[in-house]
Amino acid sequence: MDGILVLEDGHFFRGKRFGGEFSALSASGAGEVVFNTSLTGYQEILTDPSYEGQIVTLTYPHIGNYGVNPEDSESSGLRAAGLICRDYHPVPSNWRSDRSLGDYLAAANVPALCGVDTRRLVLLIRDVGALRGVIRPFDDGDDLPIAGKLGEGVDDARIALLVEEAQGHPSMAGLDLASRVTCKRAWTLGPDDAKKHVVAMDFGIKLNIVHQLVALGCRVTVVPATTTAIEILALRPDGLLLSNGPGDPEPVTYAVETIRYLLGKVPIFGICLGHQLLGIACGGKTYKLGFGHRGGNHPVRDLDTGRVEITAQNHGFAVAASSLNGREVVVTHTNLNDDTVEGLRHKRWPAFSVQFHPEASPGPHDSHHLFKRFAELMDRPLHPGLKS
């Protein structure tokens, strides 16, 4: 054991280092510690911009056995601040693999620990909520247990310093992380003669969302999160997509104002953070969940049809159902685990959103039909006068 994860409350978990450089001078290896219950898809998870500023714990024990490849990344690079797993397999066996997960992490300088008691760590997060933590080198720790807590039979000055470092890391609440991960300039995918033109506001968009829309015959222009409503309308979109992204939606006030202005002027589809921003634009409020929803097995009920879909999710905030009372939106989906709001639809204007990820990647494909619903919404004429 030559590495350690230390949490802000004094809990620590020792493990074996792999991946990127372990250094107290490095900005990597520090962040909010969360867990994901997906069985596969570690490459997609680690490259999802929604994990900006987070250390990801994978509950599935065997990680790395199929390596990584150039096609499965969801953004231009690794986004997670660190990785925690139980068993890491350094020699992958898969015809699509071009390198190991460890080499992939090392190239991006993202630190990782294996051999960690992930069951104990996840149960702790479930009990007390997501905690800030740091992954750091820790040699000569044979006198310490594999996992424990400072002050409960453990008195180690090195761990005490790492607790202070974790406590000094900024909380996710109140941070505008979307501005950190959004694209610097607009880019386009899809044919110029496509039937529909979708403008996607990039709050941390996953590439597979764009691919799903292109597969439906759309040309997609991805624009920075700070793009104004006037600039978006100048692109003459047939539809507006509000993408997924990391962190707290409340500080992303510039996007809320843009969405509020565009309601009724163009059909809107929001995903994850985009769903939360649409909820705020319609007068709702959001709140931080205890440990969030992250994984590919979350059951969601469609209240219009009664159908239950198994969904992929990755978020730490949610729209408060009570804040929507009296607003011009209706709740369309609820989470069967905790009854949180999973979908919204505007009563008058062509706008809807879901908290989960219909593109999956990784995850089930139960909700792919929502992209077709968005395409159908773009085919319908807007109510006379709404574009004025």
Comparing CA positions, the residue from 128, 126, 122, 161 lying closest to residue 4 is: 161
CA distance 283 to 275: 13
For tokens 């992209």, the residue is 371
Is residue 357 part of the annotated active site? The answer reads yes
- Pairing type for strands 196-202 and 218-224 reads parallel
> Is 58 in a helix, a strand, or coil?
strand
Half-sphere exposure of 293 (CA within 13 A, CB side): 26
**Could you tell me the CA-to-CA distances from 261 to 91, 236, 270, 380, 387 in Å, in that order?**
52, 15, 15, 20, 11
Among the options 8, 52, 250, 359, which is catalytic? 359
CA distance 298 to 278: 22
Q: How many residues in total does the chain contain?
A: 388
Among the options 8, 272, 309, 342, which is catalytic? 272
**Could you tell me the CA-to-CA distances from 323 to 96, 110, 271 in Å, in that order?**
47, 39, 19
CA distance 296 to 285: 26
Please state the φ and ψ torsions of residue 19, each to the nearest 5 degrees: 85, -140
For tokens 């100048």, the residue is 234
CA distance 387 to 265: 5
Query: For the packed helices 253-262 and 273-281, what is the interaxial angle rounded to 10 degrees?
Result: 70
* C-beta separation of 33 from 5 below 8 A: yes
* C-beta separation of 258 from 225 below 8 A: no
Among the options 293, 315, 333, 357, which is catalytic? 357
Is residue 272 part of the annotated active site? The answer reads yes
Annotated catalytic residues are 272, 357, 359
